Amino acid sequence: MPLLKDKDKKYLEEEFKKNLKNPVKLYVFTTDDECQYCEQTVEIAKELEETSDLIEAEQLDISSEKAKRWGIDKAPTTVVTAKGNENPRIKYIGIPMGYEFSSLVEDIRRVSRNDPELDPSVKEKLDEVDKPVKIQIFVTPTCPYCPKAVGTAHKFAIANSNITGEMIEAIEFPAWADEWGVSSVPHIVINGDVQFVGAYPDENFVDYVLEAYRKMEKAPS
Per-residue pLDDT tens digits for 59-115: 999 999 999 999 999 999 999 999 988 789 999 999 999 999 999 999 999 999 999
Rounded to two decimals, the pTM is 0.95
Question: How large is the C-alpha radius of gyration of the chain?
Answer: 17
| For residue 221, pLDDT beyond 60 | no
Other C-beta atoms lying within 10 Å of the C-beta of residue 215: 13
Query: Cβ neighbours of residue 202 under 8 Å, at least 6 residues apart?
Result: 118, 119, 122, 152, 155
Residue 24 CB burial class (10 angstroms; 0-12, 13-18, ≥19): buried
Q: What is the mean predicted confidence (pLDDT) over 188-195?
A: 96
Percentage of residues in the chain having pLDDT higher than 90 = 92
CB 92 within 8 A of CB 104: yes
| For residue 220, pLDDT beyond 70 | no
Distance CA 181, CA 42 (A): 30
117 torsion bin: left (phi>0), alpha (psi -120 to 50), beta (else)? left
What pLDDT is stored for residue 46 in this prediction? Answer: 97
Q: In terms of Cα–Cα distance, which of 129, 118, 182 is closest to 151? A: 118
Average model confidence (pLDDT) across the chain: 95
